[in-house]
């Protein structure tokens, strides 16, 4: 089995950085640390097997194949930024239940899920930046999907889309 310094694993991590703004291992560790949960619980919340998430975290796989899983991960990342540390167990449990219930359609619309106080997505008014304008017209999941699609041909546009998707409140 290859170690973490294997050239193909490093290449896979760089590809993840291009697609998702950071290697998935970093993103997953940030989420599990902020929420105080295991990687297996995160996987179940997102709608994937713990083994698949482990392969993505270790860069043995590059891409999240299910757009709904990616959308839930981005939504969870967005909501984690709004949590005030340390997050209490009830808040974390309610947030994870809401994320697990979120359903995405190909047209980018999310079916309403039960909302818990303090977890509402707020869209700021345009502050003059391209990212702020994009946040005003599309959900983070759609922005991330557009960044992934545009990345190879238009990396500078993809970066703006990734920034808008990853920092919805800035």
For every residue of 49-77, DSSP letters joined together read -HHHHHHHHTTSS-----HHHHHHHHHHH
Q: Output the pLDDT for position 121.
A: 40
Rounded CA-CA distance 68/53 in Å is 14
The predicted structure's pLDDT at residue 128: 54
Q: Which of 151, 126, 148, 145 is nearest to 137 (CA)?
A: 126
Classify burial at 113, counting beta carbons within 10 Å of its beta carbon; exposed 0-12, middle 13-18, buried 19 or more: middle
Residue 104, classed as helix, strand or coil, is strand
pLDDT in the model for residue 142 = 84
**Low-confidence stretches of the chain (pLDDT beneath 50):** 107-109, 111-126, 170
What pTM, to 2 d.p., does this model score? 0.62
**CA-CA distances (angstroms) from residue 122 to 78, 93, 139?**
11, 21, 11
Residue 17: its pLDDT value, please?
94
Backbone torsions φ then ψ of 153, nearest 5 degrees: -95, -30
User: Rounded distance, CA 86 to CA 96, Å?
Assistant: 16
CA–CA dist 102, 54 (Å, integer): 22
**Residue whose C-alpha is closest to residue 162's, from 18, 25, 27, 24:** 18
Residue-level pLDDT at 9 = 95
Q: How many CB atoms lie within 10 A of CB 76?
A: 22
Give residue 106's pLDDT. Answer: 53
């Amino acid at each position: 089995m290859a170690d973490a310094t294997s050239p193909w694993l490093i290449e896979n991590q760089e590809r993840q950085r291009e697609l998702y703004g950071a290697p998935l291992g970093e993103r997953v560790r940030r989420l599990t640390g902020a929420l105080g949960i295991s990687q297996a619980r995160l996987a179940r919340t997102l709608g994937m097997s713990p083994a698949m998430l482990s392969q993505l975290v270790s860069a043995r796989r590059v891409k999240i194949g299910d757009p709904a899983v990616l959308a839930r991960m981005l939504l969870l990342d967005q909501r984690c930024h709004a949590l005030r540390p340390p997050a209490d167990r009830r808040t974390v449990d309610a947030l994870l239940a809401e994320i697990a219930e979120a359903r995405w359609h190909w047209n980018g619309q999310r079916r309403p899920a039960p909302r818990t106080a303090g977890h509402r997505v707020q869209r700021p008014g345009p502050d003059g930046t391209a990212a702020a304008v994009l946040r005003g017209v599309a959900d983070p999941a759609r922005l991330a999907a557009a960044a992934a699609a545009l990345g190879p041909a238009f990396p500078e546009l993809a970066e703006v889309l990734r920034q808008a998707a990853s920092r919805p409140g800035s």
